[in-house]
Amino acid sequence: MPAQKNTTQTFVPLRDIKDNVVILKNGQMNMVMLASSINFALKSIDEQEAILRQFQSFLNTIDFSIQFYVQSRRLNIRPYLELLQSREEKQDNDLMKIQLREYMQFVKTFTAEVDVMSKSFFIVVPYTPTAANIQNSLESFKNVIGSKKEVYFDDKNFTEHKLQLEQRVSLVEQGLSSIGVRTILLQNEELVELYYHIFNPGEAGNVAPSSK
């Protein structure tokens, strides 16, 4: 009997993205938030200690796991250079034109020699429905005896499960807000782009396919 060929999708743990929720093949549901950063080094000693205490208190209040994910991408400066060029063309002052041209050349040379990176900070908040937990236990047993059948996600109670997940997100949002970190919940299109770049790191400059 010929061996079954694995496709790329076999190794991707995602089942679906809908209503701003990432559904994994094991039944787990995730919501992802984009978080702002704080310049911890510029804070005074007292402020740093206060932030650490608040963060520790926040971690102690939650009874579920969360994941912090930092994504680094090479900064695309082409739109910025195009903006400068358009301003140069509209500039009447010859001296300003020369300065803009020299500045654009400096930016091009600098970014050609140094990788300018942008960092984004994400918080992944998970929720695993009870039914999925039972299925995961059965799946683990099936894997032991050789079955590789995927867990089927039953979305009959999706709205109810999403409400539980949203409560967790709200708790995380409030906890991070207490230390000055602002968060924004990623929508469907943004989730598609995020996971596309995670699974296609060599195509960071490409646009991710839109979700349906």
Whole-number Å distance between alpha carbons of 86 and 78: 12
CA distances (Å), origin 9, targets 85, 132, 136, 152: 43, 21, 20, 16
Q: Is the dihedral of CA 31, 173, 168, 138 positive or negative?
A: positive
Which neighbouring-strand residues pair with 126? 30
How confident is the prediction for the chain on average, in pLDDT?
80
pLDDT for the residue 202: 63
Cβ pair 173, 62 in contact under 8 A: no
pLDDT for the residue 185: 96
**pLDDT tens figures, 99-134:** 888 898 888 888 777 777 778 899 999 998 865 444
**DSSP string across 68-97:** EEEEEEE---HHHHHHHHHHHHH---HHHH
pLDDT for the residue 177: 93
Q: Averaged over 41-67, what is the pLDDT?
A: 93
Q: Averaged over 35-58, what is the pLDDT?
A: 92
Q: Is the pLDDT of residue 142 over 60?
A: no
Exposed, middle or buried, 194 (CB in 10 Å: 0-12/13-18/19+)?
Answer: buried
pLDDT for the residue 187: 95
pLDDT for the residue 15: 86
